[in-house]
């Protein structure tokens, strides 16, 4: 049977993936709207004169300041994807944007005495199925938490599933929640495209460590395409224990927060978006210690999302902001270039290159 890469071009396959993700993530449009209604965001903006900065909205709605970045992500969905609010840039203000009511959000205002027209109850009813979803309930409870910024934060996912992390649930309930299978299928889909379109990022290397590489799908694909490249997978002991035998990939049990085996390059495929900025800095510092200087060929290869990169495309933008809301349920973050840059420089790296050729994702080459 012919491979899909033989039948379709890389761009056709990436466009097909975009279509499937865009359709699948449509649920999070409803989640974002339900959160905004539950937190009385339209009311807060209305009381502030119909336009307000995010900090003003947080204070008016009584939301913890710790949620500023996360509420910005919800509002981004409601502007980019939903058109429920609009944004206006304020070049003279310390805040980057002001959020303004639209006709749609005006119809959600509870205390709007200027009109008797309201669709709040109607929309609330239509969101019932969304509100009853465990993840949606977890996100609502999470936004209502009031805690110090330094306090260890649980995730919306854990609040929805009795304190279990996404990885714990994947271990305990693999049939209903096939997380590992989903990650493996993504690797099987993406790596042939990566090697076809961007294989040069791996050429010239003698050794590579795939950090948190699971059962080695990505490393095996790279090793098959470049037999001279020695590939190693680093993952937790319980993951490595399940690794297949008789492959051309070496497996090392360990923890990326502790240390990473020495190699010319480190691969981080779809990993960093799972973690906070501080955690990403820790991981990248360990990566930096594992590789030689740039002059000696050392680099980090990151496959992840760079929000807003690539040519403008509304479906692509919507999919990125919706995926950002999805990853928020495990306290992950999808980042724009400036957010990535801050992490890279905090970790001690000096230069990077973004290659936006993987649909909603990009390859980033990071240099010490």
C-alpha to C-alpha distance for 220 and 232, rounded to whole angstroms: 9
Q: How do residues 127-185 score in pLDDT, each as one tens digit?
A: 999 999 998 999 999 998 866 554 457 899 999 998 999 989 988 888 888 998 999 99
Examine the domain organization and report whether 238 and 104 are in the same domain: no
Examine the domain organization and report whether 106 and 249 are in the same domain: no
Examine the domain organization and report whether 35 and 105 are in the same domain: yes
Q: Is residue 257 part of a domain?
A: yes
C-alpha to C-alpha distance for 366 and 368, rounded to whole angstroms: 7
- Cβ atoms of residues 198 and 269 within 8 Å: no
Kindly name the residue from 40, 46, 140, 273 that is annotated as catalytic.
273
C-alpha to C-alpha distance for 107 and 60, rounded to whole angstroms: 19
C-alpha to C-alpha distance for 301 and 314, rounded to whole angstroms: 27
User: Which pLDDT does position 5 carry in this prediction?
Assistant: 66
Q: How do residues 265-291 score in pLDDT, each as one tens digit?
A: 999 999 999 999 999 999 999 999 999
Q: Is residue 346 part of a domain?
A: yes
Percent of the chain with pLDDT strictly greater than 70? 93
Q: What is the CA radius of gyration of the chain?
A: 22
Q: Which CATH number goes with the domain that contains 112?
A: 1.10.10.10
Examine the domain organization and report whether 361 and 265 are in the same domain: yes
Q: How do residues 320-360 score in pLDDT, each as one tens digit?
A: 999 999 999 999 999 999 999 999 999 999 999 999 999 99
Examine the domain organization and report whether 316 and 241 are in the same domain: yes
**Which residues span the domain enclosing 52?**
22-132
144 is catalytic: no
Mark which of 132, 150, 171 sits at the end of a domain: 132
Examine the domain organization and report whether 126 and 183 are in the same domain: no
Q: Is residue 157 part of a domain?
A: no
Examine the domain organization and report whether 118 and 247 are in the same domain: no
Mark which of 114, 132, 150 sits at the end of a domain: 132
Both tokens assigned to 257: 């927060």
Q: Is residue 147 part of a domain?
A: no
Token match 């009311």: residue? Answer: 43
Query: What pLDDT band is residue 1 in, cutting at 50, 70 and 90?
Result: very low
Q: Is residue 149 part of a domain?
A: no
Longest dimension (CA), the chain: 73
Q: Is residue 96 part of a domain?
A: yes
Q: Among residues 178, 29, 44, which one has the least CA distance to residue 108?
A: 44
What integer is the mean pLDDT of 293-311?
Answer: 94
Both tokens assigned to 128: 């019932």
Number of domains in the chain: 2
Mean pLDDT of the chain: 92
Q: Is residue 37 part of a domain?
A: yes
Mark which of 104, 132, 160 sits at the end of a domain: 132
Examine the domain organization and report whether 186 and 68 are in the same domain: no
Examine the domain organization and report whether 120 and 203 are in the same domain: no
Q: Is residue 13 part of a domain?
A: no
Examine the domain organization and report whether 115 and 207 are in the same domain: no
C-alpha to C-alpha distance for 208 and 335, rounded to whole angstroms: 25
* Stated pTM of the model: 0.92
User: Which pLDDT does position 90 carry in this prediction?
Assistant: 64
Both tokens assigned to 148: 């110090």
Both tokens assigned to 16: 């097909």
Examine the domain organization and report whether 98 and 244 are in the same domain: no
Helix boundaries (H) for 25-119: 27-38, 41-47, 54-61, 68-76, 103-106
Q: Which CATH number goes with the domain that contains 303?
A: 3.40.50.150
Examine the domain organization and report whether 77 and 183 are in the same domain: no
Both tokens assigned to 295: 């002059």
| Local structure of 100: helix, strand or coil | strand
The CA-based angle 261-339-234, given to 5 degrees, is 15
- Cβ atoms of residues 336 and 306 within 8 Å: yes
Sort residue 216 into left (φ over 0), alpha (ψ -120 to 50) or beta: left
- Measured N-to-C along each axis, helices 27-38 and 314-328 cross at an angle, to the nearest 10 degrees, of 60
């Amino acid at each position: 049977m012919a491979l899909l890469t033989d039948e379709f071009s890389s761009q056709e396959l990436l466009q097909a993936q975009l279509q499937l993700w865009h359709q699948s993530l449509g649920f999070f449009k409803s989640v974002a709207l339900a959160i905004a209604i539950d937190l009385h965001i339209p009311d807060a903006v209305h009381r502030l004169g119909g336009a307000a900065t995010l900090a003003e909205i947080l204070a008016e709605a009584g939301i913890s300041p710790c949620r500023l970045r996360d509420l910005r992500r919800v509002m981004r969905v409601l502007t980019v994807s939903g058109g429920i609010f609009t944004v206006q840039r304020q070049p003279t203000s310390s805040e980057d944007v002001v959020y303004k009511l639209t006709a749609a959000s005006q119809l959600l205002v509870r205390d709007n005495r200027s009109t008797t027209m309201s669709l709040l109850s109607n929309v609330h009813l239509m969101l019932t199925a969304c509100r009853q979803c465990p993840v949606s309930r977890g996100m609502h409870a999470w936004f209502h938490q009031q805690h110090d910024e330094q306090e260890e934060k649980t995730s919306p996912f854990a609040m929805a599933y009795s304190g279990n992390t996404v990885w714990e649930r994947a271990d305990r309930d693999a049939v209903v929640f096939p997380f590992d299978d989903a990650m493996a299928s993504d690797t099987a889909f993406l790596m042939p495209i990566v090697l076809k379109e961007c294989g040069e990022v791996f050429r010239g290397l003698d050794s590579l460590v795939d950090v948190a590489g699971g059962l080695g799908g990505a490393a095996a694909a790279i090793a098959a395409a470049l037999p001279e490249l020695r590939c190693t997978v680093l993952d937790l002991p319980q993951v490595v224990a399940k690794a297949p035998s008789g492959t051309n990939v070496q497996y090392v049990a360990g923890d990326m927060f502790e240390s990473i085996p020495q190699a010319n390059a480190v691969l981080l495929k779809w990993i960093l978006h799972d973690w906070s900025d501080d955690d990403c800095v820790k991981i990248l510092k360990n990566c930096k210690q594992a590789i030689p200087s740039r002059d000696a060929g050392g680099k980090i290869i990151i496959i992840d999302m760079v929000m807003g990169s690539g040519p403008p495309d509304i479906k692509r933008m919507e999919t990125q902001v919706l995926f950002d809301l999805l990853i928020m349920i495990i306290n992950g973050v999808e980042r724009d270039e400036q957010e990535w840059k801050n992490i890279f420089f905090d970790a001690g790296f000096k230069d990077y290159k973004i290659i936006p050729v993987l649909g909603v994702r990009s390859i980033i080459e990071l240099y010490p």
